[in-house]
Amino acid sequence: MSLAQDIEVLRFVPLFAGLADEQLRLLAFSGERVSLAAGAPALAAGNAPDGAHVVLSGRVQVVDPLRRRRGEDDGARLGPGSLVNDAALIAEIDHPLAIVADGPCELLHLRRAVFRRLLAEFPDVAVRLHAELTARFVAFADDLARIGARLDE
Protein backbone atom coordinates (compact mmCIF):
# COMPACT_ATOMS: atom_id res chain seq x y z
CA MET A 1 0.00 0.00 0.00
CA SER A 2 1.06 3.54 -0.62
CA LEU A 3 0.84 6.55 1.66
CA ALA A 4 -2.25 7.69 -0.29
CA GLN A 5 -3.91 4.31 0.28
CA ASP A 6 -3.09 4.44 4.00
CA ILE A 7 -4.67 7.89 4.19
CA GLU A 8 -7.82 6.55 2.53
CA VAL A 9 -8.09 3.72 5.06
CA LEU A 10 -7.57 6.18 7.94
CA ARG A 11 -10.28 8.46 6.52
CA PHE A 12 -12.88 5.76 7.24
CA VAL A 13 -11.79 5.02 10.82
CA PRO A 14 -14.60 6.55 12.93
CA LEU A 15 -12.20 8.15 15.44
CA PHE A 16 -10.42 9.94 12.59
CA ALA A 17 -13.55 10.93 10.66
CA GLY A 18 -13.46 14.61 9.91
CA LEU A 19 -9.68 14.98 10.13
CA ALA A 20 -8.17 17.15 7.43
CA ASP A 21 -5.91 15.64 4.78
CA GLU A 22 -2.88 17.20 6.48
CA GLN A 23 -3.76 15.52 9.77
CA LEU A 24 -4.41 12.15 8.15
CA ARG A 25 -1.12 12.46 6.27
CA LEU A 26 0.73 13.05 9.56
CA LEU A 27 -0.78 9.89 11.04
CA ALA A 28 -0.17 7.78 7.94
CA PHE A 29 3.38 9.02 7.42
CA SER A 30 4.29 8.54 11.08
CA GLY A 31 2.69 5.12 11.32
CA GLU A 32 4.74 1.94 11.16
CA ARG A 33 3.55 -0.80 8.81
CA VAL A 34 3.40 -4.24 10.38
CA SER A 35 2.95 -7.36 8.24
CA LEU A 36 1.71 -10.46 10.05
CA ALA A 37 1.30 -14.07 9.01
CA ALA A 38 -1.76 -16.07 10.08
CA GLY A 39 -1.71 -16.68 13.83
CA ALA A 40 0.97 -14.08 14.55
CA PRO A 41 0.25 -11.81 17.53
CA ALA A 42 -0.18 -8.09 17.00
CA LEU A 43 -0.72 -7.56 20.73
CA ALA A 44 -0.41 -9.91 23.68
CA ALA A 45 -2.99 -9.80 26.46
CA GLY A 46 -1.83 -7.89 29.53
CA ASN A 47 0.63 -5.68 27.68
CA ALA A 48 0.58 -1.90 27.81
CA PRO A 49 1.15 -0.98 24.15
CA ASP A 50 2.55 2.39 23.08
CA GLY A 51 -0.27 3.00 20.62
CA ALA A 52 -2.99 1.46 18.50
CA HIS A 53 -3.23 -0.42 15.22
CA VAL A 54 -5.37 0.21 12.15
CA VAL A 55 -6.09 -2.84 10.01
CA LEU A 56 -5.01 -1.99 6.46
CA SER A 57 -5.63 -5.38 4.86
CA GLY A 58 -6.69 -8.82 6.02
CA ARG A 59 -8.32 -9.47 9.37
CA VAL A 60 -7.32 -9.72 13.01
CA GLN A 61 -9.06 -11.62 15.74
CA VAL A 62 -9.70 -10.30 19.23
CA VAL A 63 -8.93 -13.11 21.68
CA ASP A 64 -10.05 -13.12 25.30
CA PRO A 65 -7.72 -15.55 27.11
CA LEU A 66 -10.36 -16.30 29.77
CA ARG A 67 -13.00 -17.22 27.20
CA ARG A 68 -10.51 -19.32 25.28
CA ARG A 69 -9.55 -21.28 28.43
CA ARG A 70 -13.24 -21.99 29.06
CA GLY A 71 -13.56 -23.29 25.50
CA GLU A 72 -15.92 -20.49 24.46
CA ASP A 73 -16.02 -18.91 21.02
CA ASP A 74 -13.20 -16.60 20.10
CA GLY A 75 -13.86 -12.89 19.89
CA ALA A 76 -14.64 -10.58 17.04
CA ARG A 77 -12.78 -10.46 13.78
CA LEU A 78 -11.88 -7.00 12.55
CA GLY A 79 -11.11 -6.03 8.97
CA PRO A 80 -9.73 -3.06 7.05
CA GLY A 81 -10.44 0.30 8.63
CA SER A 82 -10.78 -1.13 12.15
CA LEU A 83 -8.93 0.68 14.92
CA VAL A 84 -7.61 -1.76 17.51
CA ASN A 85 -6.95 -0.55 21.08
CA ASP A 86 -7.81 3.10 20.52
CA ALA A 87 -7.54 3.89 24.26
CA ALA A 88 -3.77 3.33 24.03
CA LEU A 89 -3.53 6.43 21.82
CA ILE A 90 -4.36 8.50 24.87
CA ALA A 91 -3.26 6.56 27.95
CA GLU A 92 -0.84 3.84 28.96
CA ILE A 93 -3.15 1.02 29.91
CA ASP A 94 -2.87 -2.74 30.01
CA HIS A 95 -4.86 -4.34 27.21
CA PRO A 96 -6.78 -7.34 28.58
CA LEU A 97 -7.27 -9.00 25.19
CA ALA A 98 -4.89 -10.43 22.63
CA ILE A 99 -4.98 -9.43 18.97
CA VAL A 100 -3.92 -12.15 16.54
CA ALA A 101 -3.73 -12.19 12.73
CA ASP A 102 -6.65 -14.20 11.37
CA GLY A 103 -4.71 -14.68 8.14
CA PRO A 104 -2.04 -12.68 6.39
CA CYS A 105 -2.67 -9.04 7.23
CA GLU A 106 -1.09 -5.63 7.29
CA LEU A 107 -1.52 -3.14 10.12
CA LEU A 108 -0.52 0.47 10.64
CA HIS A 109 0.88 1.00 14.14
CA LEU A 110 0.10 4.51 15.39
CA ARG A 111 2.21 5.57 18.35
CA ARG A 112 0.74 7.47 21.28
CA ALA A 113 3.49 10.12 21.05
CA VAL A 114 2.52 10.95 17.46
CA PHE A 115 -1.17 11.10 18.32
CA ARG A 116 -0.44 13.44 21.23
CA ARG A 117 1.59 15.61 18.85
CA LEU A 118 -1.43 15.73 16.53
CA LEU A 119 -3.62 16.86 19.43
CA ALA A 120 -1.10 19.52 20.46
CA GLU A 121 -0.69 20.89 16.93
CA PHE A 122 -4.40 20.79 16.12
CA PRO A 123 -6.44 21.74 19.21
CA ASP A 124 -9.70 21.43 17.25
CA VAL A 125 -9.00 17.70 16.94
CA ALA A 126 -8.52 17.50 20.71
CA VAL A 127 -11.87 19.24 21.29
CA ARG A 128 -13.66 16.85 18.91
CA LEU A 129 -11.97 13.83 20.48
CA HIS A 130 -12.93 15.03 23.96
CA ALA A 131 -16.57 15.28 22.88
CA GLU A 132 -16.52 11.80 21.34
CA LEU A 133 -14.88 10.21 24.38
CA THR A 134 -17.34 11.96 26.69
CA ALA A 135 -20.23 10.52 24.69
CA ARG A 136 -18.67 7.03 24.88
CA PHE A 137 -18.21 7.28 28.66
CA VAL A 138 -21.79 8.48 29.15
CA ALA A 139 -23.08 5.55 27.06
CA PHE A 140 -20.86 3.15 29.03
CA ALA A 141 -22.13 4.55 32.36
CA ASP A 142 -25.72 4.16 31.13
CA ASP A 143 -25.02 0.52 30.17
CA LEU A 144 -23.54 -0.14 33.62
CA ALA A 145 -26.55 1.46 35.31
CA ARG A 146 -28.91 -0.80 33.31
CA ILE A 147 -26.86 -3.87 34.24
CA GLY A 148 -26.82 -2.78 37.89
CA ALA A 149 -30.59 -2.34 37.87
CA ARG A 150 -31.04 -5.89 36.54
CA LEU A 151 -28.73 -7.29 39.21
CA ASP A 152 -30.72 -5.51 41.92
CA GLU A 153 -33.96 -7.16 40.76
pLDDT (tens digit, 9 = 90+) per residue, 10-50? 999 988 888 899 999 999 999 999 999 999 988 877 777 88
CA distances from residue 40 to 32, 44, 59, 111 in whole angstroms, order as listed: 17, 10, 12, 20
CA distances from residue 24 to 43, 46, 67 in whole angstroms, order as listed: 24, 29, 36
Give the mean pLDDT of 88-103: 85
In single-letter form, the type of residue at position 92 comes to E
Q: What is the pTM of this model?
A: 0.82
Residue 64 pLDDT more than 80? Answer: no
CA distances from residue 97 to 23, 48, 75, 77 in whole angstroms, order as listed: 29, 11, 9, 13
Residue 153 pLDDT more than 80? Answer: no
